[in-house]
Amino acid sequence: MRSYFIISAFLFTGLLAGILIERTEPLPYRLAKKVAKNLLTTTSASTPTECDIATIERFSESANIVIGHAYGSPGAPSALISDNLRLFLEKNKTRIRNVFFSGDIFSVPSKQRWSDLAHYMKNLRLKYFIAPGNHDVGFFDNTSRDIFSDFHNFSYPIIKYAGGFIVILVDTPNNRWGLSKNDIDVIRSFNDGEKPIIVIGHHVFTREFLHISNSNVGLNKTLPSLAELGKIFENKDKNIFLISGDTGAIQKLPRTTCSRYNNIMAIANGVGNLKNDEVIAFNDMRIWRVKVYINE
């Protein structure tokens, strides 16, 4: 009889705790609930199709390069960008027109490291632009963002024209992942032109790619599916490429992941200072995967 009352009391306490948690939704519960919702809703009635981007080892002159997670391995971050990337840029500097960093350039940024990067890229005579990652600027207002803003004169979204594309760099940490309403309005404002659009940001843009992200730090919303983004950018004659850089930091993650829905292609690409590292290159309205490792 005593055991019966103990079990009943235990079950009643658990039920009461569940009701209280569901009603009050403390922060850890809300975050866990949102992440679970993202993971459980990775498909829609209109499932995106896999796509393939050609892989090349060498590229023509005037190429534009997109680099994700430039500091490389989380276990052994470099004082600058990863060793493989430095070798790649130094060998190909005469064939590169612009470098677009898609976030997490440094594991732990500082004024000195941003200064070192600027001098390094200037010595290579390479122009560069940054879509910041959470390692670079944190989330919302903080010291890392202050340091970044003091050193760089960037106002987001950044709009550039390169390689036959309209290139739009966005600040996903400031929006806690994903595109802000202003980002979407800016992208849609170019929807009627002839040039295709490349959007560059750090965090993955769609929930289908959550499983290949380096981490889910800072995620506090349900990301749209690729099909849902396709409905937002409804001009099917306008190709839009969403390139994110928060993947590939460790060997078990893919170097590059790609998925297409109608005119929208999502691409996640990042490096980990590994032999199979890749970056994204684009020029003449075409996009490629480029091998970073150079076997001398």
Residues 188 and 97 in one domain: yes
Residues 120 and 256 in one domain: yes
Residues 26 and 97 in one domain: no
**Full residue range of the structural domain in which residue 16 is found:** 2-40
Confidence of residue 42 (pLDDT cuts 50, 70, 90): very low
Position 296 in a domain: no
Q: Strand 96-101 and strand 63-67: pairing?
A: parallel
Q: What pLDDT, on a 0 to 100 scale, did the predictor assign at position 70?
A: 94
CATH of residue 252's domain is 3.60.21.10
Position 35 in a domain: yes
Residues 181 and 63 in one domain: yes
Q: Between the CA of residue 215 and those of 64, 144, 205, 210, what are the distances in Å? A: 27, 19, 14, 8
Residues 182 and 105 in one domain: yes
Residues 92 and 228 in one domain: yes
Residues 179 and 262 in one domain: yes
Residues 69 and 136 in one domain: yes
Comparing C-alpha atoms, which of 164, 162, 106, 112 is closest to residue 136?
A: 106
* 2 against 143, higher pLDDT: 143
Residues 123 and 198 in one domain: yes
pLDDT digits 0-9 by tens, 171-196: 999 999 999 999 999 999 997 778 99
Residues 11 and 104 in one domain: no
Q: What pLDDT, on a 0 to 100 scale, did the predictor assign at position 294?
A: 60
The domain total for the chain is 2
When pLDDT is averaged across residues 134-162 and rounded to a whole number, the result is: 91
Residues 233 and 284 in one domain: yes
